[in-house]
Amino acid sequence: MQPDLVIAVQEKTHVALARRVALETARRAGLGENDVDSAAVVVTEAATNLIKHAAGGEIVIRIPRDSSSTLEILALDRGKGIANLAQCTEDGYSTAGSPGTGLGAIHRLSRHDEIYSARDLGTVLLARIGPAAAVATAPTFITGAICGPAHGEEVSGDAWLVQASLDRCRVVVADGLGHGPNAAEASQAAMRAAEANPSATLMDFISIAHSRLRPTRGAALAIAEIRLSEGRVAFSGAGNISGAIVSGSQIRRMVSMNGTAGQEIRSPQEFFYPWQPDSLLILHSDGINTHWSLDLYPGLSHRHPTLIASVLFRDSRRGRDDATVVVVRQSEPVSRRQLP
Protein backbone atom coordinates (compact mmCIF):
# COMPACT_ATOMS: atom_id res chain seq x y z
CA MET A 1 0.00 0.00 0.00
CA GLN A 2 1.25 3.45 -0.91
CA PRO A 3 1.85 5.80 2.04
CA ASP A 4 0.25 9.20 2.05
CA LEU A 5 2.38 11.71 0.15
CA VAL A 6 3.20 14.57 2.52
CA ILE A 7 4.64 17.66 0.82
CA ALA A 8 6.00 20.58 2.83
CA VAL A 9 4.91 23.88 1.28
CA GLN A 10 7.04 26.82 2.39
CA GLU A 11 7.74 28.71 -0.85
CA LYS A 12 6.32 29.12 -4.35
CA THR A 13 8.47 26.35 -5.87
CA HIS A 14 6.76 23.88 -3.52
CA VAL A 15 3.40 24.77 -5.09
CA ALA A 16 4.67 23.50 -8.43
CA LEU A 17 5.94 20.32 -6.77
CA ALA A 18 2.56 19.67 -5.14
CA ARG A 19 0.81 20.26 -8.46
CA ARG A 20 3.11 17.80 -10.25
CA VAL A 21 2.58 15.11 -7.59
CA ALA A 22 -1.18 15.64 -7.77
CA LEU A 23 -1.19 15.23 -11.55
CA GLU A 24 0.88 12.03 -11.36
CA THR A 25 -1.25 10.55 -8.57
CA ALA A 26 -4.55 11.49 -10.24
CA ARG A 27 -3.50 9.73 -13.43
CA ARG A 28 -2.35 6.70 -11.46
CA ALA A 29 -5.78 6.62 -9.80
CA GLY A 30 -7.39 6.44 -13.25
CA LEU A 31 -9.20 9.78 -13.10
CA GLY A 32 -10.54 11.24 -16.32
CA GLU A 33 -8.77 14.24 -17.81
CA ASN A 34 -11.34 16.72 -16.50
CA ASP A 35 -10.85 15.41 -12.97
CA VAL A 36 -7.07 15.40 -13.44
CA ASP A 37 -7.26 19.07 -14.39
CA SER A 38 -9.51 19.75 -11.40
CA ALA A 39 -7.02 18.07 -9.07
CA ALA A 40 -4.25 20.30 -10.39
CA VAL A 41 -6.30 23.44 -9.77
CA VAL A 42 -7.40 22.35 -6.29
CA VAL A 43 -3.86 21.54 -5.17
CA THR A 44 -2.49 24.75 -6.66
CA GLU A 45 -5.12 26.87 -4.90
CA ALA A 46 -4.72 25.02 -1.59
CA ALA A 47 -0.92 25.20 -1.63
CA THR A 48 -0.94 28.87 -2.64
CA ASN A 49 -3.27 29.63 0.27
CA LEU A 50 -0.82 27.97 2.66
CA ILE A 51 1.88 30.44 1.66
CA LYS A 52 -0.37 33.53 1.46
CA HIS A 53 -2.35 33.06 4.63
CA ALA A 54 -0.42 30.72 6.95
CA ALA A 55 3.31 31.17 6.23
CA GLY A 56 3.37 27.62 4.89
CA GLY A 57 2.06 24.19 5.78
CA GLU A 58 1.69 20.75 4.25
CA ILE A 59 -0.22 19.21 1.36
CA VAL A 60 -1.18 15.54 1.65
CA ILE A 61 -2.09 13.67 -1.55
CA ARG A 62 -3.40 10.12 -1.66
CA ILE A 63 -5.72 7.62 -3.28
CA PRO A 64 -8.29 6.73 -0.59
CA ARG A 65 -8.84 3.07 0.08
CA ASP A 66 -12.62 3.25 -0.25
CA SER A 67 -12.49 4.53 -3.84
CA SER A 68 -9.61 3.70 -6.16
CA SER A 69 -10.79 6.20 -8.81
CA THR A 70 -10.64 9.14 -6.42
CA LEU A 71 -7.93 11.55 -5.35
CA GLU A 72 -7.96 12.93 -1.82
CA ILE A 73 -6.18 16.19 -1.01
CA LEU A 74 -5.51 17.64 2.43
CA ALA A 75 -4.04 21.04 3.23
CA LEU A 76 -2.73 21.46 6.80
CA ASP A 77 -1.53 24.69 8.39
CA ARG A 78 -0.94 26.22 11.81
CA GLY A 79 -1.93 29.76 10.85
CA LYS A 80 -4.35 32.16 12.48
CA GLY A 81 -7.41 30.26 11.30
CA ILE A 82 -10.31 31.53 9.20
CA ALA A 83 -12.46 34.05 11.04
CA ASN A 84 -15.47 33.87 8.69
CA LEU A 85 -15.44 30.63 6.74
CA ALA A 86 -18.69 31.27 4.86
CA GLN A 87 -17.42 34.64 3.63
CA CYS A 88 -14.05 33.22 2.60
CA THR A 89 -15.67 30.68 0.28
CA GLU A 90 -17.39 33.44 -1.69
CA ASP A 91 -15.70 34.43 -4.93
CA GLY A 92 -14.17 37.91 -4.77
CA TYR A 93 -13.48 37.93 -1.04
CA SER A 94 -9.80 38.04 -0.09
CA THR A 95 -7.68 39.01 2.90
CA ALA A 96 -4.43 38.99 0.91
CA GLY A 97 -5.16 41.27 -2.04
CA SER A 98 -5.70 38.35 -4.44
CA PRO A 99 -8.77 37.75 -6.69
CA GLY A 100 -10.39 35.75 -3.88
CA THR A 101 -11.45 32.72 -5.92
CA GLY A 102 -9.34 30.03 -4.19
CA LEU A 103 -11.72 28.36 -1.73
CA GLY A 104 -14.64 28.88 -4.10
CA ALA A 105 -12.78 27.07 -6.88
CA ILE A 106 -11.87 24.23 -4.53
CA HIS A 107 -15.53 23.86 -3.56
CA ARG A 108 -16.77 23.87 -7.16
CA LEU A 109 -14.20 21.38 -8.44
CA SER A 110 -14.37 18.88 -5.58
CA ARG A 111 -16.83 16.04 -5.27
CA HIS A 112 -16.67 16.62 -1.52
CA ASP A 113 -14.87 19.28 0.49
CA GLU A 114 -14.81 20.14 4.15
CA ILE A 115 -12.82 22.59 6.28
CA TYR A 116 -12.02 22.74 9.97
CA SER A 117 -10.60 26.03 11.20
CA ALA A 118 -10.26 27.60 14.64
CA ARG A 119 -8.83 30.91 15.73
CA ASP A 120 -5.05 30.68 16.32
CA LEU A 121 -5.23 26.89 15.80
CA GLY A 122 -4.87 26.77 12.03
CA THR A 123 -6.90 25.15 9.29
CA VAL A 124 -7.34 21.71 7.76
CA LEU A 125 -8.97 21.38 4.35
CA LEU A 126 -10.19 18.10 2.86
CA ALA A 127 -11.12 17.78 -0.83
CA ARG A 128 -12.02 14.72 -2.87
CA ILE A 129 -11.77 14.73 -6.65
CA GLY A 130 -13.35 12.14 -8.92
CA PRO A 131 -16.68 10.62 -9.94
CA ALA A 132 -19.32 10.02 -7.31
CA ALA A 133 -19.06 6.51 -5.88
CA ALA A 134 -22.07 4.22 -6.15
CA VAL A 135 -23.06 3.19 -2.62
CA ALA A 136 -25.83 0.62 -2.21
CA THR A 137 -26.36 1.18 1.52
CA ALA A 138 -25.18 3.81 3.98
CA PRO A 139 -22.16 2.63 5.96
CA THR A 140 -22.51 2.10 9.69
CA PHE A 141 -18.99 3.40 10.33
CA ILE A 142 -17.04 6.36 8.96
CA THR A 143 -13.26 6.13 8.93
CA GLY A 144 -10.54 8.74 8.57
CA ALA A 145 -6.81 8.16 8.66
CA ILE A 146 -3.46 9.65 7.78
CA CYS A 147 -0.20 7.70 7.48
CA GLY A 148 3.01 9.57 6.74
CA PRO A 149 6.60 8.32 6.49
CA ALA A 150 9.47 9.61 8.58
CA HIS A 151 11.24 12.62 7.09
CA GLY A 152 13.52 11.50 4.27
CA GLU A 153 11.79 8.15 3.72
CA GLU A 154 9.72 7.18 0.69
CA VAL A 155 7.80 4.41 2.44
CA SER A 156 6.15 4.29 5.84
CA GLY A 157 7.01 1.66 8.42
CA ASP A 158 3.45 2.02 9.73
CA ALA A 159 0.36 0.41 8.26
CA TRP A 160 -3.35 0.28 9.07
CA LEU A 161 -6.46 -1.63 8.05
CA VAL A 162 -10.19 -1.28 8.73
CA GLN A 163 -12.64 -4.18 8.32
CA ALA A 164 -16.27 -3.12 8.84
CA SER A 165 -19.71 -4.71 8.71
CA LEU A 166 -23.13 -3.54 9.92
CA ASP A 167 -22.49 -4.56 13.52
CA ARG A 168 -18.70 -4.52 13.92
CA CYS A 169 -15.63 -2.59 12.91
CA ARG A 170 -12.07 -3.83 13.30
CA VAL A 171 -9.10 -1.50 13.21
CA VAL A 172 -5.55 -2.84 12.98
CA VAL A 173 -2.46 -0.64 13.28
CA ALA A 174 1.14 -1.85 13.03
CA ASP A 175 4.41 0.03 13.50
CA GLY A 176 7.45 -1.83 12.16
CA LEU A 177 10.57 -1.35 14.27
CA GLY A 178 12.58 1.61 13.01
CA HIS A 179 11.53 3.04 9.68
CA GLY A 180 12.13 2.56 5.97
CA PRO A 181 11.63 -0.56 3.80
CA ASN A 182 12.41 -3.15 6.49
CA ALA A 183 9.93 -1.59 8.89
CA ALA A 184 7.36 -1.47 6.08
CA GLU A 185 7.92 -5.17 5.39
CA ALA A 186 7.03 -6.00 9.00
CA SER A 187 3.91 -3.83 9.16
CA GLN A 188 2.65 -5.09 5.81
CA ALA A 189 3.07 -8.69 7.03
CA ALA A 190 0.75 -7.79 9.89
CA MET A 191 -1.82 -6.38 7.46
CA ARG A 192 -1.72 -9.56 5.38
CA ALA A 193 -2.34 -11.58 8.53
CA ALA A 194 -5.36 -9.40 9.32
CA GLU A 195 -6.75 -9.73 5.80
CA ALA A 196 -6.34 -13.51 5.89
CA ASN A 197 -7.97 -13.92 9.32
CA PRO A 198 -10.95 -11.53 9.51
CA SER A 199 -12.90 -13.80 11.87
CA ALA A 200 -10.11 -14.66 14.31
CA THR A 201 -10.57 -13.57 17.89
CA LEU A 202 -8.46 -10.58 18.79
CA MET A 203 -6.09 -12.61 20.93
CA ASP A 204 -5.78 -15.29 18.23
CA PHE A 205 -4.98 -12.59 15.68
CA ILE A 206 -2.15 -11.23 17.82
CA SER A 207 -0.75 -14.78 18.10
CA ILE A 208 -1.11 -15.41 14.35
CA ALA A 209 0.54 -12.10 13.47
CA HIS A 210 3.33 -12.79 15.98
CA SER A 211 4.11 -16.00 14.11
CA ARG A 212 3.87 -14.37 10.66
CA LEU A 213 6.22 -11.55 11.66
CA ARG A 214 9.06 -13.77 12.89
CA PRO A 215 11.01 -13.50 9.58
CA THR A 216 10.82 -9.69 9.86
CA ARG A 217 12.32 -7.22 12.30
CA GLY A 218 8.99 -7.18 14.18
CA ALA A 219 6.38 -4.56 14.92
CA ALA A 220 4.24 -2.98 17.58
CA LEU A 221 0.72 -4.16 16.86
CA ALA A 222 -2.81 -3.47 18.07
CA ILE A 223 -6.33 -4.45 17.09
CA ALA A 224 -9.57 -2.89 18.28
CA GLU A 225 -13.10 -4.03 17.48
CA ILE A 226 -16.25 -1.95 17.95
CA ARG A 227 -19.18 -4.25 18.78
CA LEU A 228 -22.41 -2.31 18.52
CA SER A 229 -24.71 -5.11 19.73
CA GLU A 230 -22.60 -5.36 22.92
CA GLY A 231 -22.12 -1.61 23.36
CA ARG A 232 -18.39 -2.00 23.84
CA VAL A 233 -14.97 -2.05 22.22
CA ALA A 234 -12.55 -4.97 22.52
CA PHE A 235 -8.82 -4.22 22.36
CA SER A 236 -5.65 -6.28 22.28
CA GLY A 237 -2.15 -5.05 21.59
CA ALA A 238 1.58 -5.65 21.92
CA GLY A 239 3.90 -2.67 22.03
CA ASN A 240 3.37 1.06 21.83
CA ILE A 241 0.35 1.45 19.55
CA SER A 242 -1.95 3.78 21.49
CA GLY A 243 -5.71 3.39 21.55
CA ALA A 244 -8.36 5.67 23.01
CA ILE A 245 -12.11 6.12 23.09
CA VAL A 246 -13.33 9.71 23.16
CA SER A 247 -16.87 10.36 24.40
CA GLY A 248 -17.60 14.03 24.87
CA SER A 249 -14.81 15.42 27.04
CA GLN A 250 -13.88 12.01 28.42
CA ILE A 251 -10.90 10.04 27.07
CA ARG A 252 -10.41 6.38 27.95
CA ARG A 253 -6.90 5.21 27.13
CA MET A 254 -6.72 1.52 26.24
CA VAL A 255 -4.17 -0.92 27.67
CA SER A 256 -1.54 -2.56 25.47
CA MET A 257 0.83 -5.28 26.67
CA ASN A 258 4.61 -5.02 26.49
CA GLY A 259 6.42 -6.79 23.66
CA THR A 260 7.02 -6.81 19.92
CA ALA A 261 5.09 -9.00 17.50
CA GLY A 262 7.56 -11.22 15.67
CA GLN A 263 10.09 -11.09 18.49
CA GLU A 264 8.71 -11.60 21.98
CA ILE A 265 5.28 -10.98 23.46
CA ARG A 266 3.42 -12.13 26.54
CA SER A 267 0.27 -14.18 26.21
CA PRO A 268 -2.17 -11.83 24.45
CA GLN A 269 -4.91 -10.31 26.56
CA GLU A 270 -8.21 -8.71 25.61
CA PHE A 271 -9.64 -5.65 27.33
CA PHE A 272 -13.13 -4.16 27.03
CA TYR A 273 -14.35 -0.56 27.10
CA PRO A 274 -17.83 0.98 26.85
CA TRP A 275 -18.96 2.42 23.51
CA GLN A 276 -21.59 5.10 23.00
CA PRO A 277 -23.20 6.10 19.66
CA ASP A 278 -21.32 9.42 19.76
CA SER A 279 -17.93 7.89 20.66
CA LEU A 280 -14.74 8.12 18.62
CA LEU A 281 -12.21 5.30 18.38
CA ILE A 282 -8.67 6.60 17.85
CA LEU A 283 -5.60 4.42 17.28
CA HIS A 284 -2.16 5.80 16.50
CA SER A 285 1.47 4.79 16.30
CA ASP A 286 4.18 6.22 18.55
CA GLY A 287 5.03 8.75 15.87
CA ILE A 288 2.14 10.67 17.48
CA ASN A 289 2.63 12.17 20.95
CA THR A 290 0.17 10.64 23.43
CA HIS A 291 -0.59 13.92 25.25
CA TRP A 292 -3.21 15.13 22.76
CA SER A 293 -6.70 16.27 23.71
CA LEU A 294 -9.58 17.09 21.38
CA ASP A 295 -10.85 19.54 23.99
CA LEU A 296 -8.27 22.01 22.63
CA TYR A 297 -10.14 22.17 19.31
CA PRO A 298 -13.71 23.55 19.52
CA GLY A 299 -16.17 21.42 17.60
CA LEU A 300 -13.54 19.11 16.09
CA SER A 301 -14.88 15.92 17.68
CA HIS A 302 -18.09 16.32 15.63
CA ARG A 303 -16.33 16.66 12.30
CA HIS A 304 -15.33 14.07 9.69
CA PRO A 305 -12.81 11.54 11.08
CA THR A 306 -10.32 12.52 8.35
CA LEU A 307 -10.24 16.08 9.71
CA ILE A 308 -9.76 14.79 13.26
CA ALA A 309 -6.91 12.49 12.18
CA SER A 310 -5.30 15.33 10.21
CA VAL A 311 -5.33 17.76 13.12
CA LEU A 312 -3.74 15.18 15.43
CA PHE A 313 -1.17 14.37 12.76
CA ARG A 314 -0.40 18.06 12.24
CA ASP A 315 -0.09 19.05 15.90
CA SER A 316 1.04 15.91 17.75
CA ARG A 317 3.51 14.35 15.29
CA ARG A 318 6.96 13.73 16.78
CA GLY A 319 8.64 14.24 13.39
CA ARG A 320 11.44 11.69 13.79
CA ASP A 321 9.37 8.61 12.96
CA ASP A 322 6.57 7.32 10.78
CA ALA A 323 3.23 8.57 12.06
CA THR A 324 -0.26 7.11 11.68
CA VAL A 325 -3.64 8.12 13.09
CA VAL A 326 -6.88 6.22 12.46
CA VAL A 327 -10.25 7.59 13.64
CA VAL A 328 -13.59 5.75 13.46
CA ARG A 329 -17.06 6.90 14.40
CA GLN A 330 -20.59 5.58 13.95
CA SER A 331 -22.36 7.27 11.08
CA GLU A 332 -25.70 7.09 12.91
CA PRO A 333 -26.93 5.40 16.07
CA VAL A 334 -28.05 1.87 15.27
CA SER A 335 -30.76 0.39 17.51
CA ARG A 336 -30.23 -3.11 18.78
CA ARG A 337 -33.29 -4.38 16.93
CA GLN A 338 -31.64 -3.50 13.61
CA LEU A 339 -28.65 -5.70 14.29
CA PRO A 340 -28.48 -9.35 13.25
pLDDT single digits (tens) 33-85? 999 999 999 999 999 999 999 999 999 999 988 776 899 999 999 999 987 66
pLDDT single digits (tens) 257-272? 999 999 999 888 999 9
pLDDT single digits (tens) 279-332? 999 999 999 999 999 999 999 999 999 999 999 999 999 978 999 999 999 986
Of 325, 278, 307, nearest to 123 (Cα)?
A: 307
> Are residues 110 and 179 both part of a single domain?
no
> Are residues 161 and 239 both part of a single domain?
yes
Q: Is residue 164 part of a domain?
A: yes
Q: Is residue 39 part of a domain?
A: yes
Q: Is residue 134 part of a domain?
A: no
pLDDT single digits (tens) 158-186? 999 999 999 999 999 999 999 999 999 99
> Are residues 53 and 147 both part of a single domain?
no
pLDDT value of position 267: 86
pLDDT value of position 85: 63
Q: Which long-range contacts (CB under 8 A, 24 or more apart) does 93-99 make?
A: 95/53, 96/52, 96/53, 98/52
> Are residues 81 and 148 both part of a single domain?
no
Domain that holds residue 71: 5-129
Q: What is the DSSP letter of 149?
A: P
pLDDT single digits (tens) 125-161? 999 999 876 555 568 999 999 999 998 898 999 999 9
> Are residues 176 and 287 both part of a single domain?
yes
> Are residues 153 and 102 both part of a single domain?
no
The answer on pLDDT for 337 being more than 70 is no
pLDDT value of position 97: 45
Q: What is the DSSP letter of 338?
A: G
The answer to whether residues 328 and 171 touch, using CB atoms and an 8 Å cutoff, is: yes
> Are residues 123 and 194 both part of a single domain?
no
Q: Which helix (H) or strand (E) holds 129?
A: strand 122-129
Domain final position from 105, 129, 153: 129
> Are residues 122 and 149 both part of a single domain?
no
> Are residues 55 and 171 both part of a single domain?
no
CATH (domain of 37): 3.30.565.10
The answer to whether residues 283 and 242 touch, using CB atoms and an 8 Å cutoff, is: yes
pLDDT value of position 187: 98
Q: What is the pTM of this model?
A: 0.91
CATH (domain of 162): 3.60.40.10
> Are residues 115 and 163 both part of a single domain?
no
- For the chain, what is the domain count? 2
> Are residues 199 and 296 both part of a single domain?
yes
Q: 91 in helix, strand or coil?
A: coil
Residue 250 CA to residue 252 CA, distance in Å, equals 7
Q: Is residue 135 part of a domain?
A: no
Q: What are the beta bridge partners of residue 160?
A: 173
Q: Is residue 136 part of a domain?
A: no
Domain final position from 98, 129, 160: 129
Strands (E), 149-289: 158-164, 168-176, 219-227, 232-238, 242-247, 250-253, 259-260, 264-265, 271-274, 280-284
Residue 23 CA to residue 145 CA, distance in Å, equals 22
Residue 256 CA to residue 134 CA, distance in Å, equals 38
Q: Is residue 80 part of a domain?
A: yes
pLDDT category of residue 336 using cuts at 50, 70 and 90: very low
pLDDT category of residue 101 using cuts at 50, 70 and 90: low
Q: Is residue 78 part of a domain?
A: yes
> Are residues 210 and 252 both part of a single domain?
yes
Domain final position from 102, 129, 156: 129
Residue 232 phi/psi, 5° resolution?
A: -155, 170
Cα dist from 249 to 185, 243, 280, 318, whole Å: 38, 16, 11, 24
Q: Is residue 61 part of a domain?
A: yes
